[in-house]
Structures are given as C-alpha cells and as structure tokens.
Amino acid sequence: MVKTMTDKVKVLFFGDLTGKPGRFALRDFLSDLKSKNQLPDFVIANVENASHGFGLTPKNYGELLEYGVDCMTSGNHIFDKKDLLSIIEDADKLVRPINYPKNMTYGKGSRIFEKDDYKIGVINVLGRVFMTPVDSQWEIVEEEIKKLKEITPIVVVDFHAEATAEKVCFGKFCAKLGVSAFLGTHTHIQTADEHIENGMAYITDAGFCGCIDSVIGMDYATSLNRFLTALPERYEVAENGSVQINAVEFEIDKNTGFATSIKRIYSISKEEEKDKDNEV
C-alpha cells in the first residue's frame, strides 16, 4: 500500500517549560501555529519546572490543557508542589517517572493516549547518573515498552537525565526495543544531535522554554551568587526579556511505529524589542 500523509502522525515535543515565561511561550507558539493552520497532531510538553521553576500546580495543569497540550511528562521536581497530589490521580494527561521506588503510589509512569484514529504510548523515565537515587530503569522500561506495543506501535520515551552518556546508551537500548521517539530532558540545553536510529527519532536533550537572559531559565544574579559564595540561596525564575522555545517535531508512521522525520526547533520571541516599540 502506498503511504500518504494520513498514515503519519506529527508530534511536537516541548523541552522543559520553566516558569511563567515557559508556559506563555508555549501558549503563544501554539496559538501562532493554529493561526497558520499548522498545528501538529499531538503535543507533548515536559512540565516538571512549569510552576515557578519547580513542580506543577493544579492551576497550571489546567492552563496547559487549555493551551492545547495533549500529554505532560515530568521529572525529578514533579512533586515539589504538594498540592499536585490533590489532582494527580485524576490528571489523566500527566505522566510521572516510571522508575520511582516501587512503593510510589501517586500517578502513573506511562499512559496510552487515544486521539483521532491512533494511539500513542508515552513513558517518562528518570536517569540515575548524578541524580537522586531511583530504581533501575533498564528492566522496568523494557517490560513497559513490550506492554505498550501490544496496544499501539507508537511509543515515545521522555528520559529525564543528567549524563549525556547515560542518555545515549539508554536511547540505543530503547531503539532496539522498537521505541518510536526518544527525547532527553533535564539539562535545559538543546543538543544538535537529532537523528533517526533504527526507526527511532532521537535527541539527547530537547532544551527548555523560558527566558534567554538566564541560567537555564533561572535568574542570573541568584545563580551567580550560589557559585561565588557556595551558600544556599533560593533560585528565582528569570522573567524579563526575550523568551525561547526549544522543541522537537517528529513524524511517526501510524502502522509501523517507525519515525520518518525529526526536526529540532529553536524559536525566539523578541519581547524586549516589543516593549521598546510600545514605548515609542
């Protein structure tokens, strides 16, 4: 059978949303795509830093759904806002890391999302190198991939990890298990190694969405003080100036689950210039 565009699903994955600037950058980016009739089929965003840089509040969860996010992945900060626990069992668009300790009872580490005429399986995973200790991801994820692929050929993995080597190695491991797309998150620095390996779209880190004039989304002065003094100081989200979108767009064949394309996105909104124009 000759494949057509209807046989593919286009997915847009946003790197770590960092505070209000990240949330609003996503909102405006999707609104612009909608105005151009260019919205993707499915939108995923990493939200572990979405609420003032640490965790996710119920309010922000609802707002992101309104903006058009179909699935929210997370990471090691997802439970920093304790009021999330009041909704997490009903938050059916949110995925928390699957390899939290076995006695973790809050939320789900993977989900099947059904939209239009296809289903997408999404798994969220934490790395262990230079990270807070969690359960080994290797056996857990291998088993989960097999379960999801009995339901759908399309499986996406968000691997929230620090070490590049761990991401590369785990990515190859997932590619051999038939994963459709593997997106690294957590470091907030977008890498330039997007490619397709064994039918799997891959990037080591998708980057972050938030203020450019910052230290990975956080206020420069606060970050500098921590480095200069080695004293604890509360991080504050940078909220002034231009904002960036770091995202990855990829297409997956609905029938085989193989990725057919991947494109890295780096977009800047010149907020400072807009403000100057308004002052004139």
Catalytic residue annotation: 77
Distance CA 232, CA 189 (A): 23
Tell the residue number behind the tokens 């572990």, with chain if given.
48
Q: Check: CB of residue 190 under 8 Å from CB of residue 206.
A: yes
Closest CA to 27 of 71, 72, 68, 70: 68
Distance CA 49, CA 20 (A): 10
Distance CA 84, CA 271 (A): 31
HSE-up (13 A, CA, CB side) for residue 88: 21
Neighbours of 35 (CB within 10 A): 9
The burial of 190, by beta-carbon neighbours within 10 Å (0-12 exposed, 13-18 middle, 19 or more buried), is given as buried
